[in-house]
Amino acid sequence: MKATQRKNKTNFNENTILWDEFVNHLETIYFPGASELLDTQLIAFEYESFKQMYSA
């Protein structure tokens, strides 16, 4: 049980770090606050592209 919790926490931390880096990337490419103002489909497309390029 503890191993599962540890694995889930690690996975959550990795996903959170990836998302934070993506938001930073998005706001660098577009403009500050872009992650809150852009169309959700555009953000989804950009996120998938970002994950393919930068995740292991």
Confirm if 6 and 14 have CB atoms less than 8 A apart. Answer: no
Q: Report the pLDDT value the prediction gives residue 45, as an integer from 0 to 100.
A: 97
**14-56 confidence digits (pLDDT tens):** 677 888 999 999 999 999 999 999 999 999 999 999 989 876 5
**First vs last Cα of the chain: how many Å apart?**
26
Position 6 pLDDT exceeds 60: no
Question: Which amino acid, residue 32?
Answer: P
Taking the model in full, what pTM does it have?
A: 0.69
Dist. CA 8–CA 26, nearest whole Å: 26
**Rounded distance, CA 23 to CA 35, Å?**
6
The domain of 36 spans 2-54
How many domains does the chain contain in total? 1
Beta carbons within 10 angstroms of residue 22's beta carbon: 19
